[in-house]
Amino acid sequence: MQKPDLTIALAGNANVGKSVIFNQLTGLGQIIGNWPGKTVEKAEGLLVHHGKNIKVIDLPGIYSLSTYSQEELVSREYIALGHPEVVVNVIDATALERNLFFTLQLIEMEAPLVLAINLADIAKKKGININYNLLGEILGLPVVPTIATKGIGVHEIVDEALKIATNKMVIGKSKIRYGPEIEKCIKTLEQLLSVKKIGYPLRWTAIKLLEEDVEIQRIVEDIAPDVVKKAKDLSKEIEKIHKEPCATVISSERYATAARIVSEVQTYEQPHKPSRGELLDAISMHSFWGYIVLFLLMLAILGFISFFGGWLTESIENLFEQFNPNILGFWPELAWNGAVIGFYASLAVALGFILPFYIILGVLEDSGYLPKVAYLMDRPCHTMGLHGKAVMPLLVALGCNVPACAGCRILETDRDRFIALVLSTLVPCSARTVVILGLVGAFIGVEWAFALYIFDFLLIFLIGRTLNKILPGASVGIIMEMPPYRTPSVNVVLKQAWVRFKPFLLTAIPLIILGSVIVEAMRLTSTLSTISDFLSPLTVVWLGLPAFTGFLFIFGILRKEAALVLLITVAGTTDISSVMSPLQMVVFTLVIMIYVPCVATIAAMIRETGWKRALEITVFEIGLAILIGGVAFRLLNPFL
């Protein structure tokens, strides 16, 4: 990769559209959605604009440059010490005051700023009119109104950024002035700090010391312990005058400045009727109907995918079976039963189950429904030692467990993150949905598939409760911004689904075809039984399953949906009922559902909690699956 000519970083509150702008600029597929916290790591991409190579950095959304959360620390360190040539502060035009509170802090950090006022169209619809020129004049910064989802204004941002980077435009420095007593303290500290080398801007460091910011105190402590002490004394004095902690006083004054600016540049006309969003809120967040809507929605999604996936699998099989040459012999059988069946079965699974699931998940995410679920489920989550925000990674886990593991970082404490991580790996992801709906749903009945889902959710609930009891400490409460509903954009939803679906096409399908060929080869050479016999005490005796499932379980660690495809290979037809009884299907699916997260999820767990914890979770889940499978085999015998 060429060395970039300059770097621009996108910073701002959560859920204002930074990732949308990032995707527009770089053409990359950073996951986006209408819920605060989906970007937990900074992402990088390249853009060529007027012959210049520009590196674009997408930072996680934050509300302040304090150190309440990991993301705030990450973003702050990057802005101050990563030295991006330009910081683009993306602002939600519908919440100007709160967004400017953050802008004022960026100005204090002396970041070279461009303001992108996003969601300009939605603000207008809400009756909010902003005088962009005046705002730019007051702040002394270039201001660009944008509608990121339509790409409007996005390239103007880069034009302005280039002007700043090439010094064609001088940024006026308008600093907020605090009350005289605070300004005096800042001056004193600035003077004391001016002889030291800190790396952060002086005035900003002084303010942070007065706010008693632990991270900055730690840094300055090494160089100038006396200054930290002095700052503590000064902030005590301010506390005495205002009868509030100094940090709160400073925040209040920042907000007062933000409010004053807003009153100058913004006019507001109350729309005549309550917006559609308010109406939807009233239903979807209702104390009773909210839960009914949630339940019916889940039911409808599973019902639809079950029906659609079943229909498509059958159609694709019929299509391919017309060409079945029906030749016997090692090579033709290997080619047809291994490669061709492996191919069309995985294609059916991909198009019938996984893709529609990703599209539906995209619609839910983009519409802003996820935070509503977090609100509804906050109370139930508390019995599992979590708060409502945990619901968002858990819902993402329905698509795939891997991003859910990283998504758990939106929770505030280690304890919460660990519990949520364990629970996310138990959520039936789209790959498990394939097995549940494609096997149990298709051959026994949708009601049995639903029963398995309900069982899994109960299991998650119980494990959550147990972890809450075992682990020391208690959960903190939820504090979360509630974004309004937005009409999902077809473009964004499809693109999003494609981003998630692509790795499946490129890596999973070849892997499954390979597995399918191996299984067929082993079946033809009668070696399949060697491996399977080794596991037969477990599979045959304890779980009551056919011996060949042993191999499927092992291969299923790579990809869980592979278990179904390979089952089709073993059966030689999509009619699996020829090799398994209904009871065996249920037990098999139960074990697949619980036994171990796939390799990709294990890798994600290692990244989040380290080897030891990841291993513990994996071993625990294998044991649990075997236990539950065996018990189910004995208990369900009379019913199936």
Partner 1 sequence: MPKEQIEEYLETIYDIAGLKGKAKTTEIAERLKNAPASVTEVLQRMNRDGLVKYEPYQGASLTKKGENIVIRIKRKHRLLEVFLDKVLHLPREHIHNQACKMEHVINDETEQALCKTLGVPTKCPHGLPIPPCNINLKSCDECLSEDNPIHDERKQKLISITTLKPGKKGKIAFIRGGRHVVQRLCDLGLTNGTSVSLVREAPLKGPIEICVRGCKIVIGRGIAEKIFIQIEET
Tokens of residue 138, six digits: 């007051």
* Cβ atoms 10, 56 nearer than 8 A: yes
Tokens of residue 511, six digits: 């892997």
Does position 124 bind partner 1 by CB under 8 A?
A: no
Q: Which is nearer to partner 1, 169 or 259 (CB)?
A: 259
- Tokens 């997260």 locate to 597
Does position 101 bind partner 1 by CB under 8 A?
A: yes
Which of 484, 515, 544, 546 lies at the binding interface for partner 1 (CB under 8 A)?
484
Strands of the sheet containing 52-58, edge to edge, are 43-49, 52-58, 6-12, 86-92, 113-118, 143-145
Contacts of 607 (CB under 8 A, 6+ apart): 405, 406
| Smallest distance from partner 1 to CB 311, Å | 39
Query: Pairing between strand 52-58 and 43-49?
Result: antiparallel
Q: How many residues bind partner 1 (CB under 8 A)?
A: 43
Smallest CA-to-CA distance from 71 within 57, 80, 60, 82 is with 60
Q: Which is nearer to partner 1, 112 or 464 (CB)?
A: 464
With CB under 8 A as the contact rule, which of the stretches 374-382, 427-435, 464-472, 534-542 interacts with partner 1? 374-382
Which of 27, 41, 48, 68 lies at the binding interface for partner 1 (CB under 8 A)?
68
| Smallest distance from partner 1 to CB 206, Å | 18
| Chain-centre distance for alpha carbon 466 | 25
C-beta neighbour count of 454 within 10 angstroms: 10
* Cβ atoms 140, 239 nearer than 8 A: no
∠ at Cα 124 (121, 129), nearest 5°? Answer: 130
| Smallest distance from partner 1 to CB 233, Å | 13
| d(C-alpha 5, C-alpha 57), whole Å | 14
Does position 98 bind partner 1 by CB under 8 A?
A: yes
Give one DSSP letter per residue of 281-301, joined into a string: HHHHT-TTHHHHHHHHHHHHH
Site residues for partner 1, window 218-237 (CB under 8 A)?
236
| Smallest distance from partner 1 to CB 108, Å | 14
Q: Which is nearer to partner 1, 111 or 162 (CB)?
A: 111
Which of 28, 31, 64, 613 lies at the binding interface for partner 1 (CB under 8 A)?
64
Read off the amino acid at residue 419: I
With CB under 8 A as the contact rule, which of the stretches 21-29, 76-84, 476-484, 488-496 interacts with partner 1? 476-484
Query: In angstroms, what CA-CA distances link 502 with 77, 350, 351?
Result: 33, 10, 12
Q: Which is nearer to partner 1, 213 or 621 (CB)?
A: 213
Does position 480 bind partner 1 by CB under 8 A?
A: yes
Binding mask 592-621 for partner 1 (x = CB under 8 A): ------------------------------
With CB under 8 A as the contact rule, which of the stretches 132-140, 329-337, 375-383, 597-605 interacts with partner 1? 375-383
C-beta neighbour count of 163 within 10 angstroms: 15
Does position 163 bind partner 1 by CB under 8 A?
A: no
Does position 63 bind partner 1 by CB under 8 A?
A: yes
Does position 247 bind partner 1 by CB under 8 A?
A: yes
Does position 283 bind partner 1 by CB under 8 A?
A: no
The most distant pair of C-alpha atoms in the chain lies apart, rounded to whole Å, by 93
Return the SS3 of 56.
strand
86 bridge partner residues:
8
| Chain-centre distance for alpha carbon 600 | 16
| Smallest distance from partner 1 to CB 624, Å | 30
* Cβ atoms 561, 599 nearer than 8 A: no
Which of 58, 378, 456, 520 lies at the binding interface for partner 1 (CB under 8 A)?
378
Tokens of residue 376, six digits: 């509804």
Read off the amino acid at residue 269: E
Does position 131 bind partner 1 by CB under 8 A?
A: no
* Cβ atoms 576, 568 nearer than 8 A: yes
Does position 478 bind partner 1 by CB under 8 A?
A: yes
Size of the chain, expressed as the number of residues it contains: 640
With CB under 8 A as the contact rule, which of the stretches 90-98, 215-223, 336-344, 598-606 interacts with partner 1? 90-98
Q: Which is nearer to partner 1, 482 or 636 (CB)?
A: 482
* Cβ atoms 215, 228 nearer than 8 A: no
Binding mask 323-362 for partner 1 (x = CB under 8 A): ----------------------------------------
Binding mask 7-46 for partner 1 (x = CB under 8 A): ----------------------------------------
Which of 134, 171, 280, 285 lies at the binding interface for partner 1 (CB under 8 A)?
285
Binding site for partner 1 (CB under 8 A): 63-64, 66, 68, 94-98, 101, 236, 239-240, 242-245, 247-248, 251-252, 255, 259, 285, 287-288, 371, 374-376, 378-379, 387-388, 476-484
